[in-house]
């Protein structure tokens, strides 16, 4: 009997925003897996740390920092091969994913490599999008409103065009792109409707009007733009 | 001491996709609240049923079926008043919300009525969007891709325009709008990339290529349109 690969969303950061299903799978896992970036600690592993059995085998896929795609591809090839060995030995493997596995997550690279040969189950998680809205006290979308999710690294012109035609907007992966994004929002006259959120649901969380956001932002930061629909109904 | 109002996301349907925090709050709640639509059973309450204390007080806000907004507004006024009585008496109140409270949820109407006078905490939940993607085996967005969420009731012309300029698209609240949405997607030549998902994560779940979707869809159904990015990296 080969094992099952579980892609498990561990939510936005607070350990108790893990789902009951994810917690049960992580607690019972003899083998866990997760990617790291250029040797840095894994955020997903930190979120789930208290649930991981002390004797669990850990498959770490270290992805090098590079604009080229080949080195990362090789890291996922190697990780997929190590996971396949565990699955072939009859072990289930629980892959830890920040937020949700299929929402800007690297789990899709393992899914692409392994789902044709093994049973793969994806356990959805709470995304940083709704976590940031909860912490900012800002309803994201209601009734027939549209919601647009944009990655911060998009070129300035494209960001401007996409924000201009939108209703509620979430800008992910702000990080070093903050000055560019801030300028676009300022040009569109929307700064007063923009909220900056950093490390939502963690003790070091920051929630500020964009006008008062810091000069430099970490990777795990987001900007919410809501156009102030009447929330009374 | 007045109580705290918790807006608690209970996730997309499977009871074990409730978060640890939400489960703890629901189990400990002396007073729970939730809306119902025209006397029908509450989906949110059904998801959380096994966690609700047998002697919990239940504040039910019955929202009448109406295209007018005033009757629903009156129902939330009345519900907010009942919740305020419990909060003033020192009880915390846990309001159950399908999916996430601030993602197309009615909790925003209570938040608007009560957050100026009471402490309100929003507990984010797993949305139907990532739940549907997980069940369909379809990564939603990666790297610098955009994601657009559209409500199915939007007019045909607007749906077409918004889908045409988009990358990944999620169409919510499909229900009786299925024939219109199907026609738009067919016109755009995107039917082969569209997946229909009904009641994701529940035992009666349906996942089908849009071409094989049923003629009539329940309210809790969704269409995912992904444009087939190369998932290898």
pLDDT at B228 over 70: no
- Which ipTM score applies to this complex? 0.96
pLDDT at B55 over 60: yes
Q: What domains are defined for chain A?
A: 4-123 (3.40.1010.10), 128-225 (3.30.950.10)
> Which residue in A122, A131, A231 is closest to B134 by CB distance?
A122
Q: Which residue has tokens 């607690």?
A: A27
Confidence bin at B65 (pLDDT 50/70/90): confident
Closest CA to A42 of A79, A74, A4, A5: A79
Over residues B79-98, the pLDDT tens digits come to 999 999 999 999 999 999 99
Beta strands in chain A (DSSP E): 4-9, 31-37, 57-63, 93-97, 119-123, 147-151, 168-172, 194-198, 206-209, 221-225
Listed by number, the residues of chain A in 169-198 with a beta carbon closer than 8 Å to a beta carbon of chain B are none
Over residues A155-182, the pLDDT tens digits come to 999 999 999 989 999 999 999 999 999 9
B67–A contact, CB cutoff 8 A: no
Over residues B167-185, the pLDDT tens digits come to 999 999 999 999 999 999 9
Q: Number of Cβ pairs closer than 8 Å across A and B?
A: 189
Q: What is the pLDDT of residue A232?
A: 54
Identify whether the C-beta of residue B201 lies closer than 8 Å to the C-beta of residue B12: yes
Query: Which of A75, A76, A149 should be substituted to probe chain B, the one whose Cβ sees the most B Cβ atoms within 10 Å?
Result: A149
pLDDT at A63 over 90: yes
Averaged pLDDT for residues B54-69: 93
pTM for this one? Answer: 0.96
Report the mean per-residue pLDDT for chain B. Answer: 94
Over residues A65-79, the pLDDT tens digits come to 888 889 999 999 999
Q: Which residue of A has its CA nearest to B105?
A: A142
A131–B contact, CB cutoff 8 A: yes
Burial A73-101, CB ≥16 within 10 A → b, else e:
eebbeebbebbbebbeeebbbbbbbbbbb
Report the mean per-residue pLDDT for chain A. Answer: 94
Write down how long chain B is. 233
Over residues A9-43, the pLDDT tens digits come to 999 999 999 999 999 999 999 999 999 999 999 99
Q: How many of the other CB atoms lie within 10 Å of CB of A179?
A: 11
Q: What is the pLDDT of residue A96?
A: 98
Q: How many of the other CB atoms lie within 10 Å of CB of A127?
A: 30
Residue B18 and residue B28: Cα distance in Å, rounded? 15
In the beta sheet, which residues pair with residue A119?
A4
Q: Which residue of B has its CA nearest to A75?
A: B233
């Amino acid at each position: 009997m080969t094992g099952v690969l579980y892609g498990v969303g561990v939510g936005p950061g607070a350990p108790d925003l893990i789902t009951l299903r994810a917690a049960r799978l992580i607690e019972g896992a003899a083998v866990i897996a997760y990617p790291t970036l250029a040797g840095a600690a894994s955020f997903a592993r930190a979120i789930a740390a208290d649930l991981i059995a002390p004797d669990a085998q850990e498959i770490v896929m270290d992805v090098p920092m590079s604009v080229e795609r080949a080195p990362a591809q090789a890291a996922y090839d190697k990780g997929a091969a190590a996971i396949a060995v565990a699955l072939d030995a009859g072990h289930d493997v629980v892959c830890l994913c920040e937020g949700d596995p299929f929402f800007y997550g690297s789990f899709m690279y393992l899914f692409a490599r392994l789902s044709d040969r093994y049973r793969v189950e994806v356990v959805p998680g709470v995304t940083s999008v709704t976590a940031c809205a909860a912490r900012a006290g800002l309803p994201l979308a209601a009734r027939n409103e549209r919601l647009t999710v944009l990655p911060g690294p998009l070129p300035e012109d494209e960001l401007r065009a996409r924000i201009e035609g939108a209703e509620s907007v979430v800008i992910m992966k702000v990080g070093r792109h903050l000055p560019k994004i801030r300028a676009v929002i300022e040009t569109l006259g929307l700064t007063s409707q923009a909220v900056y959120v950093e490390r939502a649901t963690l003790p070091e969380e920051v929630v500020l009007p964009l006008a008062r956001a810091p000069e430099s932002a970490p990777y795990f930061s987001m900007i919410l733009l809501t156009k102030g629909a009447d929330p009374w109904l």
